Each structure stands twice: as C-alpha cells, then as structure tokens.
Chains A and B, each alone.
Chain A
Amino acid sequence: MHDLPQQLANGLILGALYGLVAIGYTMVYGIVQLINFAHGEIFMVGGFGALTAYLALPGGTTLWLAVPLMLIAGILVSTLVAVGAERFAYRPLRSAPRLAPLITAIGLSIVLQQLVFSFYPDAKKARVFPKIPGDPFELASVTIQRSDIFLIIAAPICMLILGWFVARTRSGRAMQATSQDPDTAKLMGIDTDRVIVMAFAIGAAFAAVAAVAYGLRTGQVDFRMGFILGLKAFTAAVLGGIGNIYGAMLGGLALGLAEGLATAYIQHIPGMHLFGGGAWKDVWAFVLLIVVLLVRPQGLLGERVADRA
C-alpha cells in the first residue's frame, strides 16, 4: 500500500476530468430532463477543435501561447455544435414523446462521430495531441505529469466560475428557477429557451476544457473517445445526484478514485487476483454506481424529491 498517495492523486485527476464532462449532463438534465447522449461527442469535437488550432499555429509556438488558443478554439467548436444541436435537433421535440429526443441524441452522437471519422484529416486513427514537455513533478512520494497541471488548475477555476455564475448572476438564477419549475419560470418572464441554450453552452464549454485536458494527458485524441468517457461522466452525474452541479464534480472525483483504487488494489484481495488491473476498471466503476444507488438512491448530493399528490 506504499503507493496509496500516488493512486489517490491519479484517481482525483481522472475524477476531475469526469466531473468537468459530467457538469454538461447534469445541467441539461436538470433543466429539460434530457439525457443528452451526444454530450460525449461534444467533448470529442472540442478536442478536435483544439487540435485544429494547434495545427494551425506555426511550428514551435510555445505551449504558453498555444494552450490558451487551443482552449478557445475547443470551447468555440463545442459550444457551437451544442447550441446548434439544441436549436435544430432538440428544440423542435420539446413537446414530443419523452423518448424521441433521446433517439435524436443517439443519432446526433453517431453523426458527430462519423463526421470527424470521415472528414477530419487522418482521424481514422488516433491523432497526436501535444503534451507539455518536461520532467514530471515529484511531491513527496507522488509523481504528477506536467500535462496534468493544466487540469489541476483548470478544474477548480471552472467550478468557482460556475458556482459564482449560478448563485450570483441574473442568468444563473433564471437557470435555477427554470430547473425548479419551467412553467412558473416562464410565467415569471424568464426566457426559458435562452436558459436552455445557456445550459447546453456551459456544459459544452466545460466539456471542451476537459477535452483539452484529456488530450494533453493522453497525448492523443480520437473520434471514439467521447463514448466511454461520456458514459463515465454520466455515471458520475448520477452518482453525485443528477441536476446538482457540485454533485457532478463530486461524483466524478468519487468515480475516478474508485477506478484508480480498484485497478491498483482489487487483485490483492484474496480470491480476486484475476479481477484486478486495467481490464476490469470499468466494471468496478459500474459496481460502485449500483452500490451508491442502493444506499443513497438520490446520489451523493441529490435531494430526495418527495412525490407530490
């Protein structure tokens, strides 16, 4: 167990990544009760947007300049795609049967994946993404890759900005009101359409931040990366209590930790030596979800919603 601090750090970093993507699921779900299945792909196109910006820069540009530009490009692409999807695919279906938008979302997710796969140059295989060069940092017994510094800085900043936005600004309060009761919010003069667009846009921007972090961390982006990460992020959102933005981050961190620890330690439990390692980490993440739902059905930070009669 001497490497426990290292495993904790790995888990937390991975978890912050899940958390950033989970925000998008939770915000959209909180307001329109839609599982935006395509959110994983919004994350993916953000990564490719950032890559495009990097490729457009002259070779040898310092990453101090490149990363912010990549971030802007990624956010721009993700947000545009998400807002466009909301406007053209989801909004016309507001009054449709509940599952219709879900099919649209699945369709959209396939379309985005295939668009990148077919039309982005050389995207049939993973494309190389820049990493931050240099030796890893050593803090006591914990090693942290330089590329992860981006996420370690970006995730808390994102959460602070979001917390301030939701609690303090007019738009943020409109958002809270809409998620509590869209009909009343509308009667109160809130433009719910705008609020919904905003939720999609914010979620997409966060996904793009996560995508840049993911690219820097793994050194590559590929057109399929949105699916499994989206699944994990949605799990994180449910784990934290869907609809709750802090819950999404907390759920992400919990999921990341669980995965990291399970990968490292399950095989040391007697009788389980075959079930450890990376091959089983997704299974353990899922088991965690079931256990949490059994013990705390509303998720970690979710509120128990009493049914009204």
Chain B
Amino acid sequence: MTTTTAPAPTGTTLLDVRGVTMRFGGLTAVNNVDLTVSEGEIIGLIGPNGAGKTTFFNCLTGLYVPTEGTVSYKGNLLPPKPHRVTQAGIARTFQNIRLFANMTVLENVLVGRHSRTKEGLFSAILRGPGYRRAESESHDRAMELLEFTGLAAKADHLARNLPYGEQRKLEIARALASDPGLLLLDEPTAGMNPQETRAAEELVFAIRDRGIAILVIEHDMRFIFNLCDRTAVLVQGQKIVEGDRETVQNDERVITAYLGAPLEGTGAAASTEADQ
C-alpha cells in the first residue's frame, strides 16, 4: 500500500485546481481552494457537514460555474459543461444516487459509453457494419465492467429494483464506462454497513489498479485513512490542511472543526449543505 508523504505526486499531474471560489449570493460555499491529483493517486476530501465538499465537486465537474478560479485536466482548461468534462476524462458519482431508474443495469452502463462512441442518428438507422461493431464493443465493455463490479448477473434488471449497495456499485460501473482518467466519488459508502464499506474499499483499490486516479469525498474517517494517499480537509469552504494520515489526524484545526468548537469568523458557510 502506498503511503508517500504529502505533496509528492508519483506521476504526472492529472487534475489541477487553482483558487476555486464559489459564491451563492452573499454566501461563500467554497473559498479559494487549490488541489492537485496525479496519476495513480487516491485523494480524500473530508470535512464536516456543510463544508462545501459537494459544491467543490460540482465546480470540478462543470455543474456549477466557479465564481473564481480555474480547473484544468492534463494541462487543458476544463469548460464548465458537465458533458465536456466527462469527455475530457473525469467521471463522477453522486451523493444521492442518480441512476437512470427505468433503464436496465446494462443500459445504464451503456449510457456511460456515450462519450467514447460516436455513432449518430443515421448510422443507427442504417445499421452498417461499423455500427454493429461499435455496438458490440460497447456491449462487451459494459459487460466487462459489470463483471468487475459483480453485477453481471443482474444485467437485465431495472436499476431501480437493485438494492442500495448494488445501486452504488452500478453508479461506479457507469462512471467507469466513460474510460475516465480520474474518478470522483461523492460519499460512496453513505448508508453502508461495515462489510459493504470494506467491499467498497476493495473496489476503490481495484479501480486504482486499472490506472485510474480517484478523488473521494467521505464522512467515514477510517475509510478515508485506509484508502487515501493524501487527504484534504475542507472546513467552511476553505482547505485548512492537506497531507497524509498523521498530518491530518494531528492537526488541531481539524480536531476543533470536527468536535464542533467554533472557528474564528463563523458565519456564512455553515448552511451550504442545504443546497447540495
């Protein structure tokens, strides 16, 4: 297990976030946050409720247009359009699962292939050999991902009929279908029991072994520290510390934030989780 110390990236930089700030009216949900993720890394993002973690995610994936700051991937500036971000190579899951409820498990993953295929309307109508090949490749790839996440047996079930834990897995499989270089996981273990959480850990490592870097938001400290090479702590929209397990665990500000003692200048950011 890799446990390199703080800002010493192993490979080339994938994600480079500089000075991202997000304000909603007078409310600053995310304040001047920098973050980098390099190839092969698993980075954690923790913070108390309302710290602006999901808002930060939404800024990265183009769902929100950051008030200030830039996000670049592999050296290219990302446009604030979710589909362009995915095309560039960043895939995500959602905190409150958002599957395509009335599509089958397989179809959900096939939708994930959308940005890596380009068959248009006419080739769908004419169904030439190129179309068939692309379709069967997508199908194979999707089935391979379902095998990987252990859902292959349920490929024909409707997504909404899966139990909770499998819905989480399906969301990950769907995200992986877009062949991302970086996967953003928004609270992947929320609502899971300890066994399921351990299984999720295994899955995250397995994904990293496929050469995909991971940025993960979590509440579960143990999960994060078992998993992550580096962890950043977000409190009231600001990144207060970033580093390995020891650095974060021993940081006084983190302890204060989690035990609830008010920081100086309390106010604004407290209620941002309301709009997540």
Contact = CB atoms under 8 A, between A and B. Distances in A.
Q: Is A in direct contact with B (CB under 8 Å) within the complex?
A: yes
Interface of A: 306-309
A309 B97 CA distance: 9
Contacts of A307: 63
A306 B57 contact: no
Interface of B: 24, 54, 57-58, 61, 63-64, 94-95, 98, 186, 275-276
Among A306, A307, A308, A309, residue most surrounded by chain B Cβ atoms (within 10 Å): A309
Contacts of A306: 24, 64, 275
Nearest to B63: A309
A271 B95 CA distance: 57
Contacts of A308: 275-276
16 contacts: A306-B24, A306-B64, A306-B275, A307-B63, A308-B275, A308-B276, A309-B54, A309-B57, A309-B58, A309-B61, A309-B63, A309-B94, A309-B95, A309-B98, A309-B186, A309-B276
A185 to B, nearest CB: 15
Contacts of A309: 54, 57-58, 61, 63, 94-95, 98, 186, 276
Nearest to A307: B63
Contacts of B54: 309
A307 to B, nearest CB: 7
B228 to A, nearest CB: 22
Nearest 3 Cβ contacts at the A-B interface: A309-B58, A309-B94, A309-B63
A97 to B, nearest CB: 10
A81 B54 CA distance: 46
A306 B276 CA distance: 10
Contacts of B64: 306
B260 to A, nearest CB: 25
Contacts of B276: 308-309
Nearest to A306: B275
A53 B57 CA distance: 62
Nearest to B93: A309
